[in-house]
Amino acid sequence: MFCEGLYGLPFARRGRSRAVNAENPTGEKGRGGMAASHLGPSRKGSPCLRDIGPQTTVTLADIEGPGVIRHIWMTVDAKTSDADCFVLCDLILRMYWDDEEEPSVETPLGDFFCCGFGQECLVSSMPVVTVPSRGLNCYFAMPFLRRARITLTSEHANTIPAFFYQVDYCLYDDLPEGTEYFHAQWRRNRLTTPKEDFVIADLKGTGTYAGTYLALTTLERYWWGEGEVKFYIDGDGQYPTICGTGMEDYFGGSWSFARQEEGRTVETNYSTLFLGYPFYANHDSTVFNAYHNDDCPPMRGFYRFHIPDPVYFEEDLRVTVQQIGVCHRGLFERQDDVACVAYWYQREPHKTFGGLPGKEQRWPR
């Protein structure tokens, strides 16, 4: 009902269209673009939030429902100095529905938009689109009955001079009974334990799993992508209901994402509607490494959105991925640095997240 798509537009359930941004922070009807500039009244007088200091939380949106957020757009500088270059890690995005005290969304800003490692990349999926330069877009539908509150917390060392954003939403008279709420949670294990699968999501309640963003920093040599992604659904014990054939396969790839280029084998990046491998780097883009040996471990970013193939759960869901590689000796257990964002819908209440680690623990290696 709330994601009608292109062909459903003429027949869509009609809402009252609104938007929140720095020009209209309350989203009120007929009050957009009221701020004046040197050009005069209503001439781009307040295009962004300015001077967000360290350890400051700002409210991006506080909306009374019922309603559905349809689109979020944001952008910010990637660094404030050559030494302080991980703004996308240092800013924390949180979302709260219906006056809940614990967030339903809690993730570093960049990772939410499939841009981990504090670096931007191009993403052309259906629910998340990232375009130059750091044009961060999200199209996940986010319904709320009484209230939607979105905050941004800066743990960056310096003041953020400008933060641009817009939240587009529709107001309705009611929501369908049993509507599920949008959630997203970031996790990281900087050094996985052999034979212990990395936990992508550990959920309680009734809901719909909608997608995975995974940021992998490989810490060992040889091929890294043989670990299976598993879905333990509604009380599964030792074995899951859904078990894939490998990490590369879960993200839609095959045969090591390989292609031949000038007589050597290289990995191929791609970005499609529902799955992609948009980011690869084995170098550090900071100024420091322009004058020193480039010894950054390889970093890879992947996404898989379960839009046409959602995973439903009635009581609980646990999603994990193994760290298994392969070399000339065969399969072997690996230790790598794995981070992720899980995206899902569920009825409230949800299992609390427990907070994020400090910013240094969110930075890339």
Domain chopping of the chain, boundaries: 6-361
Average pLDDT per block of 10 residues along the chain, 365 residues long? 60 86 95 91 92 98 97 97 96 97 98 97 98 96 97 98 98 94 98 97 98 98 97 98 97 90 86 97 68 77 97 98 97 98 97 96 96
Report d(CA 52, CA 329) in Å as an integer.
53
34: left (phi over 0), alpha (psi -120 to 50) or beta: alpha
Per DSSP, the residues of 91-143 read EEEEEEETT-SS-SEEEEHHHHTT--TT----EE-SSEEEETTTEEEE---EE
Report d(CA 231, CA 237) in Å as an integer.
11
Q: Give the pLDDT of residue 68.
A: 96
Task: Report the alpha-carbon angle 13-151-87, nearest 5.
Answer: 120
Q: Give the pLDDT of residue 1.
A: 42
Q: Give the pLDDT of residue 134.
A: 95
Q: Give the pLDDT of residue 6.
A: 64
Q: Give the pLDDT of residue 291.
A: 57
Q: Report in angstroms the alpha-carbon separations of 22 from 35, 93, 200.
A: 9, 17, 34
User: Could you tell me the fold of the domain covering 6-361?
Assistant: Jelly Rolls (2.60.120)
3-state secondary structure of 200: strand
Task: Report the alpha-carbon angle 109-114-115, nearest 5.
Answer: 65
Q: Give the pLDDT of residue 275.
A: 97
- Judge whether 136 and 115 are in contact, CB under 8 Å: yes
What is the DSSP secondary structure assignment for residue 5, as one 8-state letter?
Answer: -
Give the rounded distance of the alpha carbon of 341 from its chain centre.
Answer: 5
Which H or E element spans position 247?
helix 247-250
* Non-local CB neighbours of 216 within 8 Å, separated by 6+ positions: 224, 299, 300, 301, 302, 336, 337, 338, 339
Q: Report in angstroms the alpha-carbon separations of 317 from 1, 59, 128, 350.
A: 25, 31, 23, 12
pTM of the model: 0.95
- Judge whether 279 and 301 are in contact, CB under 8 Å: yes
The total number of residues written for the chain in this structure = 365
Q: Give the pLDDT of residue 54.
A: 97
Q: Give the pLDDT of residue 32.
A: 92
